[in-house]
């Protein structure tokens, strides 16, 4: 995997050489647009809205729409005026308790691989953060863009988590609140029982991208059999007219418990295998 960024962590007089690697991988299936008649790939064109004509790159400028259909053009020199120097350093501003930070601010995680000669300081920072329950709030420039970021320990490594600036988060007051101010005691008790009946030990291996796997299966079938596969017709779920929330919760608990308990036949088979 290619490195995203190379530099160092800096706080006080301490400098730790590190390399960033993306901690996530989004395995989306990529598709090309094709002409139906001969499956020739179709490329995108830069077309002007005014007359539908294709626009060459040397005639394209960047504009900011400050009012409807009114633009101000920004040139390369304008962007240079606000360029932030890429220092290749993650500058720690301060340390805060992890529990005090709104989870909505966290955006994208990266692994911080220690660089040559930085092992001792890297381990010191990792252990100090682990023991204190704190994270390091910092700023870093990656690919000409400044980011707010947090350095936090993760097992025996450090992670850099890019963050949203607080002003980027929409306030909750922009959205409608539920009319009910407090849940009823009976329904709340039933909901807690349902939660308890569905509670399991966390195992990340239990969760897969069902859509991606199903789509891969469709692609494999089409490669092998062409369009001979029968189309899937899914029945739409009928809307329920039940408005008794307690009854719905009770039925949900029963359904969950019945799925969790093995049948007699399955239990006997499991016992025989164990024997």
Residue 112 or residue 267, greater confidence:
112
Terminal CA-to-CA distance of the chain, rounded, Å?
A: 47
C-alpha 2/C-alpha 15 separation (Å) is: 23
pLDDT class of 84 with cuts at 50, 70, 90: low
**Which CATH number describes the domain made up of 5-23+83-168?**
2.40.290.10
Per-residue pLDDT tens for 174-208? 877 777 778 888 888 888 888 888 888 888 788 78
Residue with tokens 């093995």: 262
**Among 91-100, 111-120, 250-259, the least confident range:** 250-259
Q: Where are the domains of the chain?
A: 5-23+83-168
Per-residue pLDDT tens for 148-179? 999 999 999 999 999 998 888 888 888 777 77
Q: Are 165 and 93 in contact (CB under 8 A)?
A: no
Residue 81 or residue 206, greater confidence:
206
Residue 153 or residue 11, greater confidence:
153
The pLDDT assigned to 129 comes to 95
Going by C-beta distance under 8 Å and a sequence separation of 6 or more, which residues neighbour residue 73?
A: 61, 62, 63
User: Following CA atoms 186, 192, 196, 198 in sequence, which dihedral angle do they give, to the nearest 10 degrees?
Assistant: 100
pLDDT class of 85 with cuts at 50, 70, 90: low
pLDDT class of 117 with cuts at 50, 70, 90: very high
Question: What mean pLDDT comes out for the span 55-80?
Answer: 85
pLDDT beyond 80 at 24: no
């Amino acid at each position: 995997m290619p490195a995203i960024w190379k530099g160092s962590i800096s706080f006080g007089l301490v400098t730790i050489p590190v390399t960033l690697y993306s901690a996530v991988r989004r395995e989306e299936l990529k598709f090309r647009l094709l002409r139906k008649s001969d499956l020739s790939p179709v490329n995108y064109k830069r077309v002007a809205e005014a007359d539908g004509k294709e626009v060459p790159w040397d005639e394209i400028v960047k504009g900011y729409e400050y009012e409807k259909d009114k633009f101000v053009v920004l040139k390369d020199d304008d962007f240079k005026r606000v360029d932030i120097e890429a220092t290749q350093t993650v500058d720690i501003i301060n340390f805060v308790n992890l529990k005090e930070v709104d989870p909505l601010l966290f955006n994208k995680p990266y692994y911080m691989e220690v660089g040559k000669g930085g092992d001792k300081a890297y381990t010191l920072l990792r252990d100090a953060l682990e023991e204190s329950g704190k994270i390091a709030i910092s700023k870093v420039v990656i690919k000409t863009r400044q980011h707010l970021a947090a350095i936090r320990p993760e097992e025996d490594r450090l992670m850099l988590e890019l963050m949203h600036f607080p002003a980027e988060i929409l306030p909750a007051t922009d959205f409608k609140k539920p009319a009910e101010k407090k849940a009823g005691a009976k329904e709340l008790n039933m909901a807690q029982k349902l939660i308890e009946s569905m509670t399991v030990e966390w195992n990340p291996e239990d969760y897969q991208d069902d859509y991606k796997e199903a789509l891969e299966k469709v692609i494999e079938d089409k490669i092998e059999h062409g369009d001979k596969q029968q189309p899937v017709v899914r029945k739409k779920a009928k809307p329920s007219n039940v408005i008794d929330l307690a009854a719905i919760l009770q039925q949900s608990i029963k359904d969950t418990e019945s799925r969790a308990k093995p049948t007699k036949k399955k239990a006997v088979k499991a016992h025989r295998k164990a024997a």
